[in-house]
Chain A
Amino acid sequence: MTDRDPWTARLSEYVDGELAADERVELERHLTICGECRTIVADLGRLRDLAATLVDREPDRDLWPAINARIGGEPRVLPLRRRWAFTLPQLAAAAVLMLVVGAGGAAVALRGNGPTTVAGPAAIGPVDPAAVPIALAASTSFDHAVAELEQVLAERRDRLDTATVRVLEQSLRTIDRALAQARAALVTDPNDAYLNAHLAETMRRKLNLMRRAATLVAAS
């Protein structure tokens, strides 16, 4: 190979299989007589393979606090060092919270009669109208996750005391009613921003409650 070797600049294209058939034949003829080009071709192939083995890694520091501040999120409370244990009173508190959600869901079902103010348990941020069908689209993933958790709880429910099971099931029934109401309302008004946000929030609360219950039975 020399500086004037016309093939020097085409070797990557050859390695990538991007040369036209006649050019490829001609270059391969050149490779039979040019050891340096043969070496470069081999190196470029190895380099390309090496690039495909690069692995991703996370930044050395947590970037979330800065991102959270920029998007206007709430400062995060530092996690407890001790692993969080789920107790019956906490589960009951969660159940009460779910009852509030249920009340919100009932109001949702009735809101077609006029403006209704719903005192939900958590503030729901502004919703982009373009995004509203997403909560319904997420239902499949949600149902799958719920089914898995239900299976875990069904297999291990005997590890929970009766009172806990009763509170849990009562809460889940309340949440399910709220979900059903929100979904039914969305059938007639799928682009309603509030309904989508309410459905998404209720889905999250059900998942959280079930995950915590699953954690509880796992630790029992």
Chain B
Amino acid sequence: MDDPTPAVDSPIRAGPDDAVDVALAQSGDTQAFERLYRAHVGRVFSLARRMMGPETAEEATQDVFVRAWEKLGSFRGEAAFGTWLHRLAVNLLLSQRSRLGRDRARLEPTDDALEHRSGRGPRPELVMDLETAIGRLPQGARQIFVLHDVEGYKHEEIGAQLGIAVGTSKAQLHRARMLLRSHLEPQAKERM
């Protein structure tokens, strides 16, 4: 992970002061780096929480920013700092996944058919449920779901990142979606 320059745009956008603070941080100014941290910690922490789970998200977030500090010299301003940081975070989180090799309780898919919901927009409790359900997905399916459906990566990019075939990425995404579907729908019904 020498140069985490992103291949795709991420939703992260640089703040107006990022360029100055990046330059200052590159010169050793930790206060400038703290400003960068505060501007981007929510994005990085949310990514870590979804990919690694809530138990290790804080530690992983710290690791990302420490790594960013160490790698600031490789940032040349070709992309927005936030984009660069996001790709660095994805790379680091994926490598930690391999190192930790942990798995979680799996959601078992069911064959229960779902009733059609007619709601226009997502209900807040469903959004919360989805965050919880993502955390309960098997590791591989979870990370592919987060990268594809939340972060907007394409299967080709995910395959390259994880060293897996595009077909495998598609299959894992479908598995994740089906598991989430089976998890979310009974809870939605209970609230009716």
CB pair A141 B173 closer than 8 Å? no
Chain A residue at minimum C-beta to C-beta distance from B14: A141
- A9, A18, A57: the one contacting B46 at CB < 8 Å is A57
Q: Which stretch of B89-97, B100-108, B109-117 is in the interface? A: B109-117
CB pair A134 B23 closer than 8 Å? yes
- A53, A59, A68, A130: the one contacting B73 at CB < 8 Å is A130
Interface residues of chain A: helix, strand, loop or mixed (majority):
helix
Q: B178 — which chain A residues lie within 8 A by C-beta?
A: 40
- B20, B26, B50, B77: the one contacting A142 at CB < 8 Å is B20
Could you say which interface size class chain B belongs to?
A: 35 or more
**Chain A proximity mask over B6-49: 1 for CB below 8 Å, otherwise 0:** 00000000001111101110111110111001100111011000
Interface residue tally for chain A (C-beta within 8 Å): 63
B58 CB–A CB distance under 8 Å: yes
Q: B58 — which chain A residues lie within 8 A by C-beta?
A: 59, 61, 63
Chain B residue at minimum C-beta to C-beta distance from A132: B26
List, sorted by A's number, 10 A–B pairs whose CB atoms are closer than 8 Å. Answer: A39-B114, A48-B177, A54-B46, A57-B42, A66-B62, A124-B28, A129-B73, A134-B19, A134-B22, A135-B23
List B residues at the A interface (Cβ < 8 Å). 16-20, 22-24, 26-30, 32-34, 37-38, 41-43, 45-46, 50, 57-58, 61-62, 65-66, 69-70, 72-77, 113-117, 122, 126-127, 130-131, 145, 149-150, 155, 170-171, 173-174, 177-178, 180-181, 184-185
Q: A50-B122, A51-B130 are in contact. List 5 more A-B contacts (CB 8 A).
A: A50-B127, A50-B130, A54-B150, A63-B41, A76-B34
List A residues at the B interface (Cβ < 8 Å). 9, 11-13, 18, 36, 39-40, 42-44, 46-59, 61, 63-64, 66-68, 70-74, 76, 123-131, 133-135, 137-138, 140-142, 144-145, 196-197, 200-201, 203-204, 207
